[in-house]
Amino acid sequence: MSSRHSKGLRPLSFLVMALCVAQVAHAQVLPPWRVDAMSSRDGGVWSDASQGAAPAASNQATDDAAFTAIAQGGPWTRADWEPLRGRLPQLMAQARAGRWNEVLATLKADDPEVDPRDRDGATLLTLAARQGQLEAVRELLRRGADADRRGLSGHTPLCAAAVGGHDLVVQELLRNGADPERWSAQGQGPLHLAAREGHVRVMRSLMAGGAKPLALNHAGRHALFEAALTGHTAAMAALVEAGVPASAPDQRGLNALHAAAMHRHADAVQWLRQRDVPVPHPLTQVLLDAMAEGVQPTP
């Protein structure tokens, strides 16, 4: 084809790419109320009562009806929360400030309840797990803290530890009966969160503890897809070593190559190409071509 014709077709290829991106954007970009709560911000959290039972791990994504409390925008209602009493306000303030020696001293000097949530939904155990405070986690569990109770950012203690990459805390929680298949309020399992953050040691501990590598989260994605979204090739390799096919499709028939191309992770794309992962959708090829040409995809 002549250079003149090629230049004439280039705007058309950009238009096709934009239309394809718009067509499947709903499958790749979540609205704000469904974005994974993976930061230290605690607002917009929902209780176990308003959320209902955690969705079980399966190869089918959970229906949106199970997440109506999140769709309504939260936050806590009067039925969900009561003011903290006794030593609890002091304990929560110390925990949030990272003064864990003081928390331990307060726990040993008194015998407070350890499971109540503060106004933002955090529990002492989820705060300790997120910050990697192994001694505090052990003490709270010894005092009867619920190893599966959702707290900080809607996370279970395992989810909180997985986001932070705290492998020893993860192992301690698993030894004390924490369920690796109990989802966060946002429909993410601990393994999904660890894969997205690239915490390989945590991932291996979770899989050894019973986490299902091909379980789908609320967005219909497995852990390999989540790792590819953030370009963590070591996490992808750990999952493939554990028996996950490199070309495993998500609920929409897309695979990790699509995820890596969508977010322009060249190393992850190359790693998957070396393992003969097929292009699952015409849009994937458009995205790969755009990467090769250095073209930024239309948001």
In degrees, rounded to 5, the angle at the alpha carbon of residue 171 between the alpha carbons of residues 91 and 255 is: 110
Alpha-carbon distance of 113 to 169, in angstroms, equals: 21
* pLDDT computed for residue 241 by the predictor: 97
* pLDDT computed for residue 152 by the predictor: 87
* Residues 155-158: contacts with CB under 8 Å, at least 24 apart: 155/37, 155/126, 155/130, 155/184, 155/185, 155/193, 156/54, 156/126, 156/182, 156/183, 156/184, 156/190, 157/123, 157/125, 157/126, 157/129, 158/129, 158/182, 158/190, 158/206
| Residue with the two structure tokens 């219909």 | 220
* pLDDT computed for residue 34 by the predictor: 35
Collect all residues with Cβ–Cβ distance below 8 Å to 57 and sequence separation of at least 6: 181, 183, 189, 211, 212, 215
**Domains with residue ranges and CATH for the chain:** 1-30+212-299 (1.25.40.20), 42-184 (1.25.40.20)
* pLDDT computed for residue 108 by the predictor: 86
* pLDDT computed for residue 48 by the predictor: 35
pLDDT by 10-residue block (mean), the chain, 299 residues:
45 53 45 32 32 38 39 41 78 92 90 85 94 96 95 93 97 97 92 98 98 94 97 98 96 96 96 97 94 68
* pLDDT computed for residue 129 by the predictor: 97
Q: How far does CA 15 lie from the centroid of its chain?
A: 33
* pLDDT computed for residue 118 by the predictor: 85
| 8 A C-beta contact, residue 160 and residue 130 | yes
